[in-house]
C-alpha cells in the first residue's frame, strides 16, 4: 500500500476502507466475476470498492474498456493507485453512461448497500441505461433466509494486521432486520494505536428474491441465471447463502 497510513488520524469508516483488501482476500466470488469480465469487451464495475477485480482483469490481459464507479473516496483512492481502469466517484444511480457496456457487475454484496426500493430501482435503471441491449448485469446479495446477521456478534471476533504490522481485533454487532429487511451493522476495531475502539456503522438490506425480481423487471432486466453460490450451484430459496443473479438487459 502506498497511500499514507496515519492511524491517529483515522476514524472507523476510514480504517474499514483501508483494511478492506486485507480482510477480503481473493476468493471464489472474485473468480466468478473475473470469468465474466474476461469474456466481455466493455465492463462497468458498480460499487467497485478498491477495484480488485478490474485490476486483476487488466493484469490478466483484458484489453478492452474497464470502468469502475464507487461513492466512497477512501475505497476509490485505493483503486486509483493504478490506471488499470477508468475510476469514477459516484453511486450506482449516478451512472450516466448510455449503452456503452456489454457487462456490468456489482460484487461483494455491494447491492446490499442499496437500502430501499426507490434506490434499487434508480440504480438498476441507471445500470440498464449504461448497458447495450442484451448486455448482462451480474450481482450478489445475501439470502435473508440464512439470517447471516445472527453471526455478526462479539462471539465471532477475528484479527488482521494494519499497514504498520500491528494486530487489529475486529468484531461486528448487528440487530435484527426491520420490516424492509434493513439490518443495522456496526464493525468494532481495537488495536494498540487507539485508546478507544473505532467503529463503522451502516445498514445492509436483505431483499427477498421475489421483490428483487419485481425491481429487475421494472428496470428492464430479465433473470438469465441464478445461483446459490459462486460455484454456480443452483439457487435454493431455503438453503442458499447468496442470491447470485445474472440479469439480461431486455430491449425497452
Chain contacts with ligand SAM (rule: CB under 6 A): 24, 46-49, 52, 70-72, 75, 91-92, 107-110, 113-114
CA dist 31 and 136 (Å) reads 17
* CB closer to ligand SAM, 184 vs 193: 184
Answer yes or no: are the C-beta atoms of 237 and 209 closer than 8 Å: yes
* CB closer to ligand SAM, 127 vs 198: 127
Q: Which helix (H) or strand (E) holds 130?
A: helix 117-130
C-beta of 70: minimal distance to ligand SAM in Å? Answer: 5
* CB closer to ligand SAM, 46 vs 249: 46
CA dist 34 and 53 (Å) reads 6
Task: Match 468494532 to its residue by C-alpha cell.
Answer: 188
Residue spans of alpha helices (H) in 39-92: 52-59, 73-79
C-beta of 17: minimal distance to ligand SAM in Å? Answer: 8
C-beta of 76: minimal distance to ligand SAM in Å? Answer: 8
CA dist 43 and 36 (Å) reads 9
CA dist 158 and 170 (Å) reads 5
Cα within 13 Å of Cα(9), Cβ side: 4
Cell numbers for 218:
421494472
Please enumerate in sequence order all residues whose Cβ is within 8 A of that of 46, keeping only pairs 6 or more positions apart, or say none.
69, 92, 95, 104, 105, 106, 110, 123, 127, 139
* CB closer to ligand SAM, 89 vs 250: 89
C-beta of 15: minimal distance to ligand SAM in Å? Answer: 14
C-beta of 14: minimal distance to ligand SAM in Å? Answer: 12
* CB closer to ligand SAM, 38 vs 193: 38
* CB closer to ligand SAM, 70 vs 213: 70
C-beta of 214: minimal distance to ligand SAM in Å? Answer: 19
Amino acid at each position: 500500500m502506498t497511500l499514507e497510513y496515519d492511524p491517529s488520524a483515522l476514524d472507523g469508516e476510514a480504517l474499514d476502507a483501508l483494511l478492506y483488501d486485507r480482510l477480503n482476500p481473493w476468493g471464489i466470488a472474485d473468480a466468478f466475476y473475473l470469468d465474466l469480465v474476461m469474456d466481455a469487451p466493455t465492463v462497468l464495475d458498480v460499487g467497485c470498492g478498491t477495484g480488485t477485480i478490474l485490476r486483476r482483469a487488466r493484469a490478466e490481459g483484458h484489453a478492452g474498456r474497464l470502468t469502475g464507479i464507487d461513492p466512497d473516496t477512501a475505497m476509490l483512492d485505493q483503486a486509483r493507485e493504478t490506471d488499470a481502469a477508468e475510476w469514477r466517484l459516484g453511486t450506482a444511480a449516478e451512472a450516466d453512461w448510455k449503452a456503452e457496456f456489454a457487462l456490468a457487475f456489482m460484487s461483494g454484496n455491494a447491492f446490499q448497500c442499496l437500502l430501499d426500493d426507490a434506490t434499487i430501482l434508480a440504480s438498476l435503471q441507471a445500470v440498464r441505461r449504461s448497458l447495450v441491449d442484451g448486455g448482462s448485469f451480474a450481482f450478489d446479495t445475501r439470502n435473508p433466509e440464512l439470517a447471516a446477521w445472527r453471526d455478526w456478534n462479539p462471539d465471532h471476533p477475528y484479527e488482521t494486521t494494519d499497514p504498520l504490522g500491528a494486530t487489529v481485533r475486529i468484531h461486528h454487532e448487528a440487530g435484527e432486520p426491520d420490516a424492509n429487511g434493513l439490518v443495522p451493522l456496526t464493525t468494532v476495531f481495537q488495536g494498540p494505536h487507539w485508546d478507544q475502539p473505532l467503529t463503522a456503522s451502516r445498514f445492509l438490506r436483505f431483499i427477498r428474491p421475489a421483490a428483487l425480481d419485481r425491481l429487475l423487471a421494472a428496470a428492464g432486466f430479465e433473470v438469465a441465471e441464478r445461483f446459490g453460490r459462486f460455484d454456480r450451484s443452483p439457487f435454493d430459496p431455503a438453503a442458499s447463502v447468496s442470491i447470485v443473479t445474472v440479469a439480461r438487459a431486455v430491449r425497452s
